[in-house]
Amino acid sequence: AQTVTQSQPEMSVQEAETVTLSCTYDTSESNYYLFWYKQPPSRQMILVIRQEAYKQQNATENRFSVNFQKAAKSFSLKISDSQLGDTAMYFCAFDSGGSNYKLTFGKGTLLTVNP
């Protein structure tokens, strides 16, 4: 079974600074998909970024980028120029790519952006 580990329960960052959230996973699959989801205080789950394991290039979405290290099974999220609206729970998630479309979530990291 796949597992997803987020070792930082809480983090804080000053506005405009950069922060990196860690995620590691365990799988025997060779092709899979990784996600970072954001859950702000509204509790609506929002996709931040997605990475396909067969792609070596790290995914980037505006201020959000990942450092995907397949051999190390690591998938960290970097948030640049942090904004107050980035305050949220961040969940790393794994999809084995099977036809059941199921996601396995990490326990989450609560990020607080301070003014």
44 touching another protein, by CB under 8 A: yes
Which tokens belong to 30?
């060779």
CA–CA gap between residue 113 and residue 37 (Å, rounded):
17
Which tokens belong to 106?
């990490």
Question: Which residue type occupies 77?
Answer: L
Instruction: Pick the binder of another protein from 41, 43, 62, 115 (CB under 8 A).
Output: 43
Q: Which is nearer to another protein, 30 or 42 (CB)?
A: 42
Pairing of strands 88-95, 109-114: antiparallel
CA–CA gap between residue 46 and residue 18 (Å, rounded):
20
Tell the smallest beta-carbon distance from residue 32 to another protein (Å): 8
105 touching another protein, by CB under 8 A: yes
Pairing of strands 109-114, 10-14: parallel
Instruction: Pick the binder of another protein from 28, 30, 41, 42 (CB under 8 A).
Output: 42
68 touching another protein, by CB under 8 A: no
Q: Where on the chain is the footprint of another protein (CB under 8 A)? A: 32-33, 35, 42-45, 47, 50, 52, 89, 91, 95, 97-103, 105-108, 110
